[in-house]
């Protein structure tokens, strides 16, 4: 047999495998925090599938996170598991000291993975200067250095950070004696070519800074389904460590699936593959630990409420959100499920006239309430002025945010019949439009207020008439 996969040039040997399940994995919105005995069981299973390094968590996140990280570190030590250990920290003194405490109480070195974002978009949003970023790295790295624990600089969103900024951040890492720099594709932006270019650049830059021995890690997310390909590209380009999580759980779309990563790296670097039984057991254990008791085990409760004026009487589980009830039990799919964690506003509905995020509202909490969804706007006897105005002003592009925008605006117009543009902006400020059509949306709500009062500024225009073509661009918000 001929294997076309073999013989690809690689600059170094197989990178170490870093398991981030108990840190990044637990940041998934879909998992539960497992009890410590399950975390410990998972730790042992990691050893059986060839994991080299394990993240013990983010100890500064709270007393439980600290306690668990210490317990896990002690277990690694007591059971002589073949791991090195890391723990995450923001680039602050307090967070680094929490990792130092874990290291001391566990009786073994725990490397600080101190993270900070330096991409232009993050700096713009946070108002961070490059000097501030470098200062935070230097200060937190110094805390680790004085405590004698190794330090890794984790650069969030590295794949969208310009070379000059990266050079300056690498310089800070070198100045503080970092053992390693972790290159991150935190938003799943990169493709394999970009990853290879970034790794080559980082290696070259560190060499030019006189620190060629500084190691590189790769941490990639799966927003575009490329995380495994990117991890392999990073490995081929010569990083020293690659991150993954059980089942690929992690922030938003998740991380690189560890089950795939260990197999792919074995094949790529011609090493023995972990036994499939061990990988299956790891996967099953992680699923059981992270998903917790299945929600289908919950008893059903009776719920009565009114939805768009009609009485509803259903049996539902205590954990059911109002959003799930509307979309999946009542078939009212006009209300959108966007982030499902209170960030985007796409799920906005009215409960007793007030806008609420249905994804964060338990259905049982709406006992006896009057819930109004976007479907109500299309009712007889006439189209709601908001729908008419959104249509005329071209206020929907992809339309994903539109139901939430409409319901937030509906609540506004119910309490203020002639809102100012500022009041409109404030009413929709919790609703994100990823197409960024805010100008047209504010125009539309302003027009809806006029239509509702009988003042139609374009009398010849009829409702539902296609909006005239308008060029894209800023529309005077």
- Asked if 24 and 245 touch (Cβ cutoff 8 Å), the reply is yes
**Site for ligand FES contains 337 (CB under 6 A):** yes
Q: Identify whether 113 is preceded by a cis peptide bond (ω within 30 of 0).
A: no
Q: Which is nearer to ligand FES, 43 or 349 (CB)?
A: 349
Residues 6+ apart with CB under 8 A from 248: 222, 227, 254, 255, 256, 257, 258, 260
Q: Min. distance of Cβ 189 from ligand FES in angstroms?
A: 19
- Asked if 257 and 234 touch (Cβ cutoff 8 Å), the reply is no
**Sole window of 229-237, 311-319, 337-345, 377-385 interacting with ligand FES (rule: CB under 6 A):** 337-345
Q: Min. distance of Cβ 377 from ligand FES in angstroms?
A: 16
* Alpha carbon distance 435, 394 (integer Å): 12
Q: Which is nearer to ligand FES, 79 or 398 (CB)?
A: 398
**Sole window of 73-81, 146-154, 164-172, 398-406 interacting with ligand FES (rule: CB under 6 A):** 398-406
**E strand or H helix at 54:** strand 53-55
Q: What are 80's two structure tokens?
A: 């002589």
Please name the residue that has the structure tokens 């978009």.
121
SS (H, E, C) 337-398: CCCCCCCCCCCEEEECCEEEEHHHCEHHHHCCCEEECHHHHHCCCCCCHHHHHHHHHCCCCC
**385-393 and 402-415 helices cross at what angle (nearest 10)?**
130
Residue 385: name the closest of 454, 333, 431 by CA. 454
**Site for ligand FES contains 467 (CB under 6 A):** no
**Site for ligand FES contains 208 (CB under 6 A):** no
Q: Which is nearer to ligand FES, 280 or 343 (CB)?
A: 343
Q: Min. distance of Cβ 441 from ligand FES in angstroms?
A: 8
- Asked if 388 and 448 touch (Cβ cutoff 8 Å), the reply is yes
**Site for ligand FES contains 328 (CB under 6 A):** no
**Site for ligand FES contains 401 (CB under 6 A):** yes
**Site for ligand FES contains 472 (CB under 6 A):** no
Reduced to 3 states, what is the DSSP secondary structure of residue 451? helix
Q: Min. distance of Cβ 458 from ligand FES in angstroms?
A: 22
Select from 193, 295, 434, 462 the one that contacts ligand FES (CB under 6 A): 434
**Site for ligand FES contains 470 (CB under 6 A):** no
Per CB under 6 A, which of residues 92..151 are in contact with ligand FES?
A: none
Q: Min. distance of Cβ 236 from ligand FES in angstroms?
A: 37
For 78-127, give the DSSP string: HTT-S-EEEEEEESSHHHHHHHHHHHHHHTS-EEEEEEEE-SHHHHHHHT
Question: With CB under 6 A, what is the number of residues at the site for ligand FES?
Answer: 23
SS (H, E, C) 234-275: HHHHCCCEEEEEHHHCCCCCCCCEHHHHHHHHHHHCCCCCCC
Q: Min. distance of Cβ 428 from ligand FES in angstroms?
A: 11
**Site for ligand FES contains 209 (CB under 6 A):** no
**Sole window of 82-90, 154-162, 216-224, 394-402 interacting with ligand FES (rule: CB under 6 A):** 394-402
Select from 194, 342, 439, 463 the one that contacts ligand FES (CB under 6 A): 342
- Asked if 445 and 413 touch (Cβ cutoff 8 Å), the reply is yes
**Sole window of 13-21, 37-45, 188-196, 392-400 interacting with ligand FES (rule: CB under 6 A):** 392-400
**Site for ligand FES contains 363 (CB under 6 A):** no
Pairing mode, strands 310-316 and 348-351? unpaired
**Site for ligand FES contains 357 (CB under 6 A):** yes
Select from 400, 450, 456, 461 the one that contacts ligand FES (CB under 6 A): 400
Select from 274, 338, 355, 394 the one that contacts ligand FES (CB under 6 A): 338
Binding residues for ligand FES (CB under 6 A): 337-340, 342-347, 357, 359, 396-402, 433-435, 437
């Amino acid at each position: 047999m001929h294997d076309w996969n073999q013989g690809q040039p690689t600059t170094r040997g197989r990178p170490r495998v870093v398991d981030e399940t108990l840190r990044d994995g637990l940041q998934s919105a879909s998992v539960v925090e497992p009890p410590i005995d399950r975390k410990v069981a998972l730790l042992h299973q990691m050893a059986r599938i060839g994991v080299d390094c394990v993240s013990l968590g983010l100890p500064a996140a709270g007393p439980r996170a600290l306690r668990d990280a210490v317990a896990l570190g002690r277990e690694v030590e007591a059971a002589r598991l073949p791991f090195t250990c890391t723990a995450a920290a923001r680039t602050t003194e307090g967070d680094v000291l929490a990792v130092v405490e874990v290291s001391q109480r566990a009786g073994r070195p725990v490397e600080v993975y101190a993270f900070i974002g330096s991409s232009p978009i993050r700096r713009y949003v946070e108002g961070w200067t490059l000097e501030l970023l470098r200062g935070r790295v230097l200060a937190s790295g110094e805390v680790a250095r004085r405590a004698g624990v190794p330090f890794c600089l984790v650069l969030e969103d590295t794949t969208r950070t310009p070379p000059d900024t990266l050079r300056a951040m690498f310089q800070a890492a070198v100045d503080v004696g970092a053992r390693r720099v972790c290159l991150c594709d935190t938003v799943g932006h990169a493709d394999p070519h970009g990853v290879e270019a970034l790794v080559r650049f980082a290696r070259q830059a560190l060499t030019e800074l006189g620190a060629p021995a500084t190691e590189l890690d790769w941490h990639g997310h799966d927003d575009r389904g490329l995380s495994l390909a990117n991890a392999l590209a990073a490995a081929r380009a010569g990083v020293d460590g690659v991150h993954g999580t059980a089942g690929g759980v992690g922030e938003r779309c998740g991380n690189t699936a560890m089950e795939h990563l260990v197999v792919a790296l074995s094949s790529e670097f011609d090493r023995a593959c972990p036994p499939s039984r061990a990988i299956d057991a790891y996967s099953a254990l992680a699923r059981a630990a992270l998903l917790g008791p299945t929600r289908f085990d919950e008893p059903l409760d009776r719920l009565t409420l009114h939805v768009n004026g009609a009485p509803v009487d259903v049996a539902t589980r205590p954990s059911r959100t109002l959003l799930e009830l509307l979309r999946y039990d009542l078939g009212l799919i006009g209300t959108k499920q966007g982030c499902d964690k209170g960030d985007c506003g796409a799920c906005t509905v009215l409960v007793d006239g007030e806008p609420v995020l249905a994804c964060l509202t338990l259905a049982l909490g709406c006992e006896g309430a009057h819930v109004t969804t976007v479907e109500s706007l299309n009712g007889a006897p006439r189209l709601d002025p908001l729908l008419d105005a959104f249509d005329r002003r071209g206020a929907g592009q992809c339309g994903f945010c539109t139901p939430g925008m409409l319901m937030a605006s509906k609540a506004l117009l119910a309490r203020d019949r002639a809102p100012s543009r500022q009041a409109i902006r404030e009413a929709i400020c919790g609703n994100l439009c990823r197409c960024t059509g805010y100008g047209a949306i504010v125009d539309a709500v302003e027009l809806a207020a006029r239509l509702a009062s009988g003042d139609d500024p374009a009398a010849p225009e009829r409702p539902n008439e296609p909006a005239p073509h308008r060029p894209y661009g800023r529309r005077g918000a």
